[in-house]
Structure 1
């Protein structure tokens, strides 16, 4: 007999099971950055890339523990941004909510563009806009029907990524045990340690790898957005968050080790997927097509999660405005299937700009710049989340016996400082300067407008 699905007060359903949430957590941790971008990172830093992933993985784990602690205290919330509104005030909360939602819309657009690129590997004659419309239509439908269907889709998307990584790791272990020889030399652990230096291409390239890996981890917080619709939130929060670091070690570090024992890092091509290179050396002729399918499902998974997350965030924004406003009336409601359908549909309508962009290169250039800005804004959002957590700790909501962030007095300020350093490092990387400056301009202009708007609202309420 299936357990009864609990309905929340706002009409959403707690229909996501533990297996759904765990696979969503894995899917959020592993993105196309590993399958495609890791070759570029390895070429910059050599074996030291593992240290970069480990350091960033540790700080992302602390951030997830901070988010997890707040959700454990109040699992009824749909987004972590709601805690920023609660503990840092409505002005900062509203600014963060809009910023994060707009960032999600651009991520959705980027992932939709990527799906068209991967499908055209097999169907080069099919226009990109048709592929984009088909994928967007399917995944929006999945999100509109029920949260459980979204969870089921993410389960299988994540499973494909896991199978690909495990297959590559097992291939590497098999080749290592059998002392295989490739055109590039022997498969050996000495490929990692041979002539090892911490900064093979200088300290600048080592530091530049941190933002690259940071953006590879972006989206790791998506799992927290499922808590409001999970069947056993307290159990799920602990398991999903606690295993974050373990997943990073297993899937990222494990994959990187295997890549570098098969291919000496000095021989690794920065312009193609290291997974494709490994499977080709292992004698798998369909490597390129197989990995193209994996990155296609990875992009579709990211798009699916983005639609889910963006819909919940826009719904959250609608609930925080005046009940007499058009935004509240139109979007602060839940459909009979237990999802914020209007908020999801509105978000999807903005993502429809993507097929139009594929018809002209001028818009695409602007889109690339705006996407860079929105990605850099995530660093600010994450930092504000950690500051909100500190306020939570000082509030009456704090649960001393809850899901406590480990070594809080040290790890909290250290994580905030580390994210600040990551943001500052963007100004020393030529391709990231525009995005970093844009993120500051966005914060000053939109944050200033929001501050003035809130001040005007408070004045009217006083009068």
Structure 2
């Protein structure tokens, strides 16, 4: 017997089941960074890359516990940004909401570009703009129909990623336990720590791996955005958040151990997917095509999630402006299907800029810079979420018997400090400097404009 779908006060539906949310959480944890980019990080730092993943995994877990605690106290909210508005004020909340939403639109664009690249692996003669229009149209349609359909799509997208990782881990364990002979030597667990050095290519390469892994984990907070439409929010929050660290250990650390056990890290190619390299050594000739399919579904999954998230964030922004404004009247609405349709359509329409980018290289260069800036802005957004959590703890909303963050007095300031260190480290990595400077300029200019806008609104509201 199916459980009845509950309708929220704003018209959205609690249609996402526990299995949907848990798989969305796993999908959010595993990105294309693991399938494609992990070879680059391993080649930079060797086995000590696992320490980088563990450290970042721990701090992302603390961040998720902070966000989860606020959602547990009020699961009716659609985005964690609403808590920033509540506890840090409308100026900071509006700045964060717009920043996060714009960042999401650019992530959507990047993922849409990626889907065309992966499809052209099989069909090189199909123009990229056609592939992009098809994927965007289908996934925007999925999001417009119902939250449950979105959840079902994410469930199967995540399942494909999990099957690929588990298949590689099982293959690797078999090869290592049977000491399979490859052109690179014997597959063995001893390969992982053979001639181990914490900084095999110097301290700089080790430190520069932290931002790379940080961006691989970016989007892990996405599962929290599903809470407002989950059937049993309190149960779902605890399970989804608590298993964050376990998933990182299993999927990332497990995969890294297997990769380095089969391929000595000094022999690993930084420019090719380590998954493809492992499967080819295992005698699987179609490895490249299979992993291409996995990363295609991974990019489609990220695009699907981005459209969902961007729609909810723009809807949230529309609810926070005066009711007589055009933005509120147009976008602060929920369709008969229980989704913020107008906000989803606007977000998807902006992503249509992507097919135009193939027309000139100048647009692509600008896009690369802006994507870098928006990625770096996520560090600031995450930090503001942690500060909002501290304000929540000092407020009357705090539930001492709720889903409290462990060792709060130590872990909260430590996480904020760690995010600050990650941001500062960007200035020491040549390719990240432009993005980091851009993030500061964006904060000062847009944050300043928002501050003066809110100051103008206060007297106007007092006159009413």
TM-score under structure 1 normalisation? 1.00
Q: Which residue of 2 aligns with 1:358?
A: 358
Q: Which residue of 2 aligns with 1:125?
A: 125
Q: Which residue of 2 aligns with 1:282?
A: 282
- Partners of 2:251 and 2:238 lie apart in 1 by 20
State the secondary structure of the residue aligned to 1:9: coil
Q: Deviations over 1:14-66 (max 9, x none)?
A: 00000000000000000000000000000000000000000000000000000
Q: Deviations over 1:83-142 (max 9, x none)?
A: 000000000000000000000000000000000000000000000000000000000000
Q: Deviations over 1:221-243 (max 9, x none)?
A: 00000000000000000000000
Q: Which residue of 1 aligns with 2:394?
A: 394
Q: Deviations over 1:341-371 (max 9, x none)?
A: 0000000000000011122211011000000
Q: CA RMSD in A?
A: 0.5
Mapped pair 1:97 → 2:85:
no
Say how many residue pairs are matched. 463
Residues 89-238 of structure 1: pairs in structure 2 closer than 5 A:
89-238=89-238
Mapped pair 1:318 → 2:318:
yes
- Partners of 1:113 and 1:388 lie apart in 2 by 34
TM superposition shift of 1:73? 0.2
Q: Which residue of 2 aligns with 1:74?
A: 74
- Partners of 1:373 and 1:317 lie apart in 2 by 21
TM superposition shift of 1:459? 2.3
Q: Which residue of 2 aligns with 1:382?
A: 382
- Partners of 2:204 and 2:366 lie apart in 1 by 28
- Partners of 1:276 and 1:331 lie apart in 2 by 44
Mapped pair 1:46 → 2:11:
no
- Partners of 1:461 and 1:70 lie apart in 2 by 28
Residues 318-337 of structure 1: pairs in structure 2 closer than 5 A:
318-337=318-337
Q: Which residue of 2 aligns with 1:4?
A: 4
CA contact (8 A) 2:28 2:221 kept: yes
- Partners of 1:180 and 1:288 lie apart in 2 by 21
- Partners of 1:58 and 1:461 lie apart in 2 by 44
- Partners of 1:352 and 1:149 lie apart in 2 by 22
Q: Which residue of 1 aligns with 2:21?
A: 21
State the secondary structure of the residue aligned to 1:356: helix
- Off by >4 Å, runs of 4+ in structure 1: none
Q: Which residue of 2 aligns with 1:258?
A: 258
Q: Which residue of 2 aligns with 1:414?
A: 414
- Partners of 2:364 and 2:383 lie apart in 1 by 29
TM superposition shift of 1:248? 0.2
TM superposition shift of 1:461? 2.6
State the secondary structure of the residue aligned to 2:192: helix
Q: Deviations over 1:318-359 (max 9, x none)?
A: 000000000000000000000000000000000000011122
Q: Which moved more, 1:56-65 or 1:450-459?
A: 450-459
TM superposition shift of 1:462? 3.2
- Partners of 1:46 and 1:3 lie apart in 2 by 49
CA contact (8 A) 2:177 2:188 kept: no
- Partners of 2:460 and 2:274 lie apart in 1 by 59
TM superposition shift of 1:460? 2.3
- Partners of 2:118 and 2:358 lie apart in 1 by 14
Q: Which runs of 5+ in 2 are unaligned?
A: none
Q: Which runs of 5+ in 1 are unaligned?
A: none
- Partners of 1:447 and 1:181 lie apart in 2 by 59
- Partners of 1:3 and 1:175 lie apart in 2 by 45
Q: Which residue of 2 aligns with 1:269?
A: 269
